[in-house]
Amino acid sequence: MNDEATTPSDEQEAIDPVTLEILRNQLESVATEMGHVLIRGAYSPNIKERQDCSTALFDASGRMVAQAEHIPVHLGAMPDAVDVVLQKDPKPGDVFIVNDPFAGGTHLPDITLVSTIAPNDEVIGYAVSRAHHADVGGSSPGSMPPGAKEIYEEGFRLPAVRLVDGGEPNAAVHDLIRANVRTPDEREADLRAQRAANERAEERIGELLEEHGSTLLDAFDAVIEYSRERVETELDALPDGTYRAQDILEGDGVTDADILITVAVTIDGASVSVDFAGTADQVAGNLNAPLSVAKSAVYFVVRAITDPEIPPNHGCYEPVSVSAPAGSVLNPDAPAAVVGGNVETSQRVMDVTLAALATAVPDRVPAGGQGTMNNLIIGDRAGEFTYYETIGGGFGARPGKDGMDGVQVGMTNTLNTPVEAMETEYPLRVERYALRPSSGGDGRYRGGLGLERTVTVETDATVSLLTERRRTAPDGIDGGKDGATGENLVDGEPVPAKASVDVEAGSTISVRTPGGGGHGDPAERDPEAKERDRQDGKVNDR
């Protein structure tokens, strides 16, 4: 590079602050509009109702420029998928599909489409959409078998291949996918929605390029540099040191043996390194998590303890390094089963990283949240339907507020499936959907309440449960009490946290989700707040 070459910081100086803010908002609006197109165009309730999907824009070198505020565990791992695609020499008109957790993916149900953005036949960036598909084959409906020991049991596995080649659909790949899933028409429709979302991005970026010219490309660098500087400023204000914590996962679906997650977080000036040395070796079951998933959880925590107004893009990641031993549960070797790593292990990585930082920034860290996504999958082996849902629970109490009741916590950000949609789309009947009184930990500030969801299955089906915090409660903090553990029931009888059960028509499935931990001494809780809790039915009368 010659001495006169332009650096990102030079470009940022060349764009005045007002123009930069306009361009940043326009780019984020494109990512958000992608999400709207995907959600409106999807066929499966998991995407159109629960919004279990994410969208983002990347520059030509594979750096995230803008994202919609969707699913944290999706977004932090997206750069790895784009990195893999860049190795495939992408051309204008190409759309790559990937779900391989060992080559850019997270777990097999999360299918990522990476499309080139080339409005003038030159690739200037990438549109990326990731969506959780309700079935991708494998040994059980929903593709999340609790007892899986190899990734081959979890569904079809695609490295980055061209779904569209230079504008022409690759019929062979479409046929391969359809032949390996239980609900092929639904998969095809959802993939079309993802393609439409990516195409909308190319259209909108083309319009912005016409409006702003090369300033738009300069803005890619400028917004990334702006976020990096903001994050570094925030980190530099934190107390230097190494902070440690550990926690466990409650078995891997093969055995009930605890799985240790341990972390050392080192803050050194304007950078932070997160090391998971000492974490358990990879396990026989499916709680192994690709390193990209661990990175997603760490990135989420860094955003949670810094200014939430910082634009989320590649610049937020640059001051952060994440490492885990090869062959560990957070960096497994193929062909390890991993489907639970994305949904459950990611939650524990977030929990343990926040716990480590509670010493450094106690005023920014809540008590333990529910620590699980409470995955419930119901489907029939004939492939007539597959229902998938993650169920909300208690958010941990905060230093100055109660925790939120019945919400998604941490690495997921989905909605629920409305009862009306659920009963219309599936042979299911919702018997109960309610908050669990007294499930939030007591404290000066009360932990959020868990939920109870009871469903009657109106046909013979297979039920899979992939859950956590059934025997280890979400922690209270600063004297607050722990939240309640969760519970899974089939026809009123308890079943393990990770289980697959064949049921007959008329069976009931109940998922009772954990509550959040409390914050502060319960004796210091405002008496008026206690009375409101009683009147609102949030605590059982004693």
DSSP code per residue over 84-127: HHHTT---TT-EEEE--TTTT-SSTTEEEEEEEE-TTSS--EEE
Cβ atoms 386, 446 nearer than 8 A: no
Question: Model confidence over 122-153: pLDDT tens digits?
Answer: 999 999 999 999 999 999 999 999 999 999 99
**Sheet hosting strand 64-67, strand order edge to edge:** 64-67, 53-59, 125-132, 110-117, 95-98, 161-165, 168-169
pTM of the model: 0.94
pLDDT exceeds 70 at position 8: no
pLDDT of residue 542: 47
Cβ atoms 449, 514 nearer than 8 A: no
Cβ atoms 292, 330 nearer than 8 A: no
The pLDDT-based confidence of 7 (bands split at 50, 70, 90) is very low
Query: What are the start-end ranges of the E strands in 125-201?
Result: 125-132, 161-165, 168-169
User: Could you give the dihedral angle defined by the CA atoms of residues 212, 217, 222 and 223, in that order, rounded to the nearest 10 degrees?
Assistant: 80
Cβ atoms 167, 111 nearer than 8 A: no
The pLDDT-based confidence of 9 (bands split at 50, 70, 90) is very low
Residue 131 lies in a domain: yes
Q: How many domains does the chain have?
A: 2
- Residue 256 carries which side chain, given as an amino acid letter? D
Instruction: Determine the Cα–Cα distance for residues 216 and 200; give it in Å rounded to an integer.
Output: 17
Token code pair at residue 45 = 């309730």
Question: Could you tell me which residues are beta bridge partners of residue 487?
Answer: 512
Residue 207 lies in a domain: yes
pLDDT exceeds 70 at position 51: yes
CA angle 56, 152, 467 (to 5 degrees): 65
What average pLDDT does range 287-316 have in this prediction?
A: 95
Domain boundary among 226, 243, 273: 226
At 461 the three-state DSSP class reads: strand
pLDDT exceeds 60 at position 112: yes
Tokens 């004939």: give the residue: 382
Residue 301 lies in a domain: no
Question: Could you tell me which residues are beta bridge partners of residue 393?
Answer: 407
Cβ atoms 443, 520 nearer than 8 A: yes
Domain boundary among 172, 201, 226: 226
User: Could you give the dihedral angle defined by the CA atoms of residues 415, 418, 423 and 427, in that order, rounded to the nearest 10 degrees?
Assistant: 10
Radius of gyration of the chain (CA): 23
Q: Beta 461-466 vs 375-379: how paired, if at all?
A: antiparallel
- Residue 51 carries which side chain, given as an amino acid letter? Q
What average pLDDT does range 4-14 have in this prediction?
A: 44
pLDDT of residue 488: 98
pLDDT exceeds 80 at position 57: yes
How many Cβ atoms from other residues are within 10 Å of residue 269's Cβ? 11
Query: How many angstroms separate the first and last alpha carbons of the chain?
Result: 73
pLDDT of residue 3: 38
Residue 474 lies in a domain: yes
- Residue 36 carries which side chain, given as an amino acid letter? H
The mean pLDDT value of the chain amounts to 95
Residue 105 lies in a domain: yes
pLDDT of residue 541: 66
What average pLDDT does range 442-461 have in this prediction?
A: 98
pLDDT of residue 76: 82
What average pLDDT does range 373-395 have in this prediction?
A: 95
Domain boundary among 226, 245, 264: 226
pLDDT of residue 139: 95
Token code pair at residue 12 = 């940022």
pLDDT exceeds 80 at position 190: yes
Cβ atoms 434, 440 nearer than 8 A: no
What average pLDDT does range 475-494 have in this prediction?
A: 98
Q: Are residues 45 and 194 in the same domain?
A: yes
As to burial, measured by CB atoms within 10 angstroms (0-12 exposed, 13-18 middle, 19+ buried), residue 493 is: exposed
Cβ atoms 327, 222 nearer than 8 A: no
Domain span including residue 64: 17-226
Residue 38 lies in a domain: yes
Distances (CA, A) of 249 to 319, 329, 352, 386: 28, 11, 11, 27
Token code pair at residue 37 = 């197109």
At 200 the three-state DSSP class reads: helix
Percent of the chain with pLDDT over 70: 97
Residue 497 lies in a domain: yes
Token code pair at residue 499 = 């289980």
Tokens 């409106």: give the residue: 40
pLDDT of residue 73: 84
Question: Model confidence over 349-369: pLDDT tens digits?
Answer: 999 999 999 999 999 999 999
Instruction: Determine the Cα–Cα distance for residues 142 and 47; give it in Å rounded to an integer.
Output: 14
How many Cβ atoms from other residues are within 10 Å of residue 413's Cβ? 18
Residue 235 lies in a domain: no
